């Protein structure tokens, strides 16, 4: 099997492609100035992530896609904490926008997708 990309480069490459796609969409929808700002943030974040991934630390191992079992557990718990926080934020957004009489669907979308993803995850991972 031919190895085409170092695992440490996978996330930064994805960040660069995704950030550039957002910058292009911004350029189309809002003009050149906003796109340049987004591209600068993309480059800084991508380089920062790559540099952190090369460090000899827990963060470096996790960001560099080379965690041991303990670091993988830390990453899993941090990911779960992030998911819980985002679902609570979505539910709070539903409550606040409903109270203000504004459109609730963007927050409702994230709350419903978060809940359904949890149920699907339970169904998928219960046998593993």
Query: Does 5 score more than 70 pLDDT?
Result: no
Convert the pLDDT of each residue in 88-119 to its tens digit.
Answer: 999 999 999 999 999 999 999 998 998 899 89
Tokens of 26: 């911004």
pLDDT at 42: 95
Residue/partner pairs of 14-20 with CB below 8 Å, 24 or more apart: 15/42, 15/45, 15/46, 15/49, 16/42, 16/43, 16/46, 19/43, 19/45, 19/46
Chain-wide mean pLDDT for the chain? 88
Sketch the domain layout of the chain as residue ranges.
Answer: 1-66, 69-128
pTM here is 0.68
């Amino acid at each position: 099997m031919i190895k085409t990309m170092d695992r440490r480069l996978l996330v930064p490459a994805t960040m660069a492609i995704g950030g550039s796609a957002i910058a292009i969409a911004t350029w189309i929808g809002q003009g050149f100035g906003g796109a340049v700002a987004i591209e600068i943030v993309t480059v800084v974040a991508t380089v920062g992530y790559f540099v952190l991934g090369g460090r000899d630390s827990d963060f470096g191992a996790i960001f560099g896609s080379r965690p041991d079992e303990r670091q993988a557990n830390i990453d899993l718990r941090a990911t779960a904490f992030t998911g819980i926080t985002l679902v609570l934020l979505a539910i709070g957004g539903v409550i606040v926008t409903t109270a203000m009489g504004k459109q609730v669907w963007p927050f409702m979308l994230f709350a419903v997708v978060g809940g359904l993803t949890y149920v699907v995850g339970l169904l998928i991972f219960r046998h593993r």
